[in-house]
Amino acid sequence: MLTTRLDTGRIRAVRRVIDPVFLDSPLYRCDALEPVLGCAVSVKLETANPVRCFKGRGTEVIADELGSGAVVCASAGNLGQALAWSGGRRGLDVTVVAARSAPAAKLDRIRALGGRLELVDGDFEQARERAADIARHDGIRLVEDSLDLETCEGAATIGLELVEQAPSADAVLIALGGGAMATGVGHVLKSLAPGVEVICVQPLGAPAMTLSWRQRRVVTTESMNTIADGVAGRFPIPEVLDDLLQVADDAVLVREESITTGMRLLLDHAGLVAEPSAALGVAAVMEDRERFAGRHVVTIICGSNVDPEAYRRWTSR
């Protein structure tokens, strides 16, 4: 029996407060990818919404609970966009703290959606520290991705849809960063479709959560080196790791060249623009074709927020 922080009943209930624009995202077999990857591939497309990523599912739950007031979060870009969108529609004052090195396209979008943006030197971990300082000083709600159950249970609604849309799936590949999507989707799958293998995928250049899962304890890293900014963190959250240990069957690391090749395959064979984090599932199949041969694999395309110039560079031959 699962004893995670998540609850399947609550996950079903939060669908009622999430704007329908984020729900029931398309899932379909991508026949053109199958000869290239050597297995049946379905894609769950989480980019056809106003913030072009899955994060709106969780921020809708948070914003609905708060109703009014002010919030602050640290973000690599996607959570900030989603919180600005959800908060803006409900009259919330949203502050987003991000690293100066975050993709310009994501930062511009946060501003366009009405979020107040504060940039810090360093990486995402410095942004987390600054966001916590602002929350303490101003006495406002700090939204912590993956630690806050709303972000996990909002993302978990993807899992409810997967169970209905892909009953023949053998494995689901989930990008692993802070862990909201992995623990949320994983919880639902292990509760409702326990025969489906839950495989988390992280870049070799940002391996902290995967190393923690493998060693069953929090493992931190001194630095990160990956283009997959959306899943790049150095300090796993203990409570999230505890949940992940119960719902993930495996956690794998992939090389940067596999990530860019995955992005190119999704563009060339599926017509999909995927940010690096969204190509991790395809990268995992490429690096271990024998493992997935003959199986039906679902990969979640979790975001498409990329700087055009960087995207062209990554996907050029």
pLDDT digits (tens, 9 = 90+) for 185-208: 999 999 999 999 999 999 999 999
What pLDDT was estimated at residue 118? 96
Given a contact cutoff of 8 angstroms between Cβ atoms, the answer to whether 301 and 283 are in contact is no
Of residues 231, 248, 232, 135, the one with CA closest to residue 187 = 248
Q: How far is CA 31 from CA 27, 28, 35, 41, 217, in A?
A: 13, 9, 8, 7, 40
pTM: 0.96
Amino acid identity of residue 107, one-letter, is L
Given a contact cutoff of 8 angstroms between Cβ atoms, the answer to whether 135 and 172 are in contact is no
Got the DSSP string for 183-251? HHHHHHHHHH-TTSEEEEEEETTS-HHHHHHHHTS----S----S-GGG--SS--HHHHHHHHHH-SEE
Q: Which domain holds residue 15?
A: 8-53+149-315
What pLDDT was estimated at residue 1? 80
The answer to whether residue 317 scores a pLDDT higher than 80 is no
Residues 192 and 244 in one domain: yes
Residue 2 covered by a domain: no
Choose one of 143, 170, 197: the last residue of a domain.
Answer: 143
Residue 204 covered by a domain: yes
**Beta strand spans in 50-140 (E):** 70-74, 93-99, 116-120
CATH of the domain at 171: 3.40.50.1100
Residue 1 covered by a domain: no
Q: How many domains does the chain have?
A: 2
Percentage of residues in the chain having pLDDT higher than 90: 96
Residues 131 and 86 in one domain: yes
Residues 60 and 200 in one domain: no
Distance (Å, rounded) from C-alpha 317 to C-alpha 315? 6
Residue 178 covered by a domain: yes
Distance (Å, rounded) from C-alpha 252 to C-alpha 199? 7
Q: What is the pLDDT of residues 11-56, one digit of tens each?
A: 999 999 999 999 999 999 999 999 999 999 999 999 999 999 999 9
Mean pLDDT, rounded, for 160-180: 98
**67: confidence class by pLDDT, cuts 50, 70, 90:** confident
Mean pLDDT, rounded, for 146-160: 98
Residue 250 covered by a domain: yes
Residues 119 and 253 in one domain: no
**308: confidence class by pLDDT, cuts 50, 70, 90:** very high
Instruction: Count the Cβ atoms, other than its own, within 10 Å of residue 13.
Output: 12
Taking each continuous run of H as one helix and of E as one strand, the counts in the chain are 14, 10
Q: What is the pLDDT of residues 252-263, one digit of tens each?
A: 999 999 999 999
Given a contact cutoff of 8 angstroms between Cβ atoms, the answer to whether 251 and 213 are in contact is yes
Distance (Å, rounded) from C-alpha 42 to C-alpha 296? 8
Residues 282 and 304 in one domain: yes
